[in-house]
Amino acid sequence: MMKPASLREALTAAVPDLARNPEKLHIFVDEGRVVATGARSLSFEYQYTLTMIVVDFGDSSNAIMVPLLAWLRVNQSELFFNPDLQRNGVRFEADILNHDTVDLAIKVPLTERVTVKVADGGYQVTHQPEPVNEGDDPASWFPPAP
């Protein structure tokens, strides 16, 4: 699975508190499954719930949610366009620790398409990129580097 590491990298780059304190960000994969279609290949799809916990966070929840949404727009765009997924796509809970900090738990359903071919006495495994929606410019969802 590639998306958990990609999300960690994106959030650490976008949220100054996580850049300074990466140990505050915990990422788990829950309810994972491998879905194979029975087609004439071993290709499959990972389907899972990514659970992200940010502990002792002292900034606005927007500081996490906006870069998360930018990452999802590129990496799991059906959460924006499928009405059934929009309603339950991003779920969260907050444990308010005091007047200044919270523990924030966020859950998002993710998928990763993987193609598999038999080659050179082994397997050639390729994680497929997400499709880009017509008219979208993926770079436009992220601020320019300073």
> Under the phi-then-psi rule, with left for phi > 0, alpha for psi from -120 to 50, and beta for the rest, what region is 38?
left
Number of domains the chain is built from: 1
Look up the pTM and report it.
Answer: 0.88
Instruction: Tell me which amino acid residue 1 is.
Output: M
Q: Give residue-wise pLDDT tens across range 4-30.
A: 999 999 999 999 999 999 999 999 999
Is residue 31 in some structural domain? yes
Rg from Cα positions in the chain: 17
Q: Is residue 136 assigned to a domain?
A: no
Question: pLDDT for 57-72, tens place per residue?
Answer: 999 999 999 999 999 9
- Is 9 a domain residue? yes
Query: Distance of CA 120 to CAs 12, 44, 117, Å?
Result: 38, 20, 10
Q: Which domain holds residue 107?
A: 3-131
